[in-house]
């Protein structure tokens, strides 16, 4: 019997687990339809690239998913045109070792994403703060992932909300942090995530001033309602609420293995603050 499911994080997690244990190819055909979320589509794409045969019976309908796949396969940029409310920027286009890196296109793309967020109802200051945090997270892919060519940034908006994703299929947070002598004792990806999200921890020694730049993200969201998801290896860390922080509502769960690090940030306006 053919099934239809929404593109949620629960769906992405379940399909990945089924793929890892070898059960996904044995399931009846399944179609993933829109949910209005960007993060699950990025995680689905990274999982499908890692084990394409396992996902042969899975059809993913949302157009943004196919934009993500094209970005990773061919370096295609999307979402910077008039009226576009979602898009993807493959980070291979910003490779600092490439003399033809498209930094101008990146600036144009992020400005369009910022303007789209404002049009969706976000305050201009909040949108600018989120773009600053997005830039820091994008830099992290080159600094820490070890496989920047697998990196991407994606965004999506609808009335009253803005979401962006920074993802890669690199070595992940645990392997990166273990390069730092201070963190060789780390036992699992969950502990590594908590350290990385606590601003200042990285593969460089503490005195170097390097970190994952998460602090800027928390500062941008200091007075706003948001949900954040950090996914690396076999763990996912979720933080949510008004002014989300590690001292607020936090959930750390073990998952099936997913390469790299995926950071999803979804900011929403309270109903009373949305534009008429």
Tens digit of each residue's pLDDT (9 = 90 or more) over 161-178: 999 999 999 999 999 998
Q: What is the pLDDT of residue 213?
A: 61
Percent of the chain with pLDDT over 90: 74
Q: Which of 191, 270, 267 is nearest to 228 (CA)?
A: 267
Residue 260 has pLDDT above 50, yes or no: yes
Range name among 138-147, 193-202, 228-237 with the lowest pLDDT average: 193-202
Choose the CATH number for 77-276 among 2.60.40, 3.20.20, 3.30.565, 1.10.150.
3.30.565
Tens digit of each residue's pLDDT (9 = 90 or more) over 97-140: 766 678 899 999 999 999 999 999 999 999 999 999 999 999 98
Tens digit of each residue's pLDDT (9 = 90 or more) over 217-257: 888 998 899 999 999 999 999 999 999 988 889 999 999 99
Q: Are strands 30-33 and 3-6 parallel, antiparallel or unpaired?
A: parallel
Answer whether 263's CB lies under 8 Å from 230's CB. yes
Distance, CA of 191 to CA of 189 (rounded, Å): 6
Q: State the average pLDDT over residues 184-208.
A: 74
Q: What is the pLDDT of residue 200?
A: 56
Residue 275 has pLDDT above 50, yes or no: no
Q: What is the pLDDT of residue 237?
A: 97
Distance, CA of 226 to CA of 244 (rounded, Å): 7
Q: What is the pLDDT of residue 222?
A: 86
Phi, psi of 153 (to 5 degrees): -125, 135
Residue 274 has pLDDT above 80, yes or no: no
> Considering the chain, what is the average pLDDT of its residues?
90
Q: Contacts for 60-65 with beta carbons within 8 Å, 24 or more apart? A: 60/7, 60/31, 60/32, 61/31, 61/32, 61/33, 61/34, 62/7, 62/32, 62/33, 62/34, 62/35, 64/38, 64/88, 64/154, 64/156, 65/7, 65/32, 65/41
pLDDT band, very low/low/confident/very high, at 61 (cuts 50, 70, 90): very high
Q: What is the DSSP string of 83-147?
A: T--EEEEEGGGG-TT-TT--HHHHHHHHHHHHHHHHHTT--HHHHHHHHHHHHHHHHHHHHHSS-
pLDDT band, very low/low/confident/very high, at 209 (cuts 50, 70, 90): very low
pLDDT band, very low/low/confident/very high, at 159 (cuts 50, 70, 90): confident
């Amino acid at each position: 019997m053919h099934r239809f499911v929404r593109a949620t994080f629960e769906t992405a997690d379940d399909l990945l687990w089924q793929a890892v244990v070898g059960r996904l190819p044995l399931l009846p055909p399944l179609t993933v339809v829109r949910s209005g979320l960007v993060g699950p589509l990025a995680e689905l794409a990274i999982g499908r690239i890692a084990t394409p045969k396992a996902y042969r019976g899975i059809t993913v309908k949302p157009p943004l998913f196919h934009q993500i796949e094209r970005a990773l396969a061919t370096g295609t940029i999307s979402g910077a045109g008039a009226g576009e409310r979602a898009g993807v920027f493959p980070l291979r286009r910003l490779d600092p070792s490439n003399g033809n890196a498209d930094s101008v296109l990146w600036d144009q793309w992020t400005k369009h994403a910022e303007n789209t967020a404002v049009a969706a109802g976000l305050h201009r200051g909040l949108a600018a703060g989120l773009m600053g945090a997005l830039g820091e997270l994008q830099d992290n892919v080159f600094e820490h992932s070890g496989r920047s060519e697998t990196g991407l940034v994606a965004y999506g908006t609808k009335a009253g909300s803005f979401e962006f994703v920074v993802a890669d299929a690199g070595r992940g947070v645990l392997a990166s942090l273990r390069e730092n002598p201070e963190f060789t004792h780390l036992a699992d990806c969950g502990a590594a995530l908590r350290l990385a999200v606590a601003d200042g921890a990285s593969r460089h020694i503490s005195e170097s001033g390097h970190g994952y730049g998460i602090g800027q993200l928390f500062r941008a969201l200091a007075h706003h309602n948001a949900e954040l998801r950090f996914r690396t290896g076999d763990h996912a860390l979720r933080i949510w609420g008004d002014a989300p922080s590690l001292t607020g509502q936090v959930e750390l769960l073990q998952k099936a293995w997913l390469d790299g690090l995926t950071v999803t940030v979804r900011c929403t306006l309270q109903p009373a603050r949305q534009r008429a």
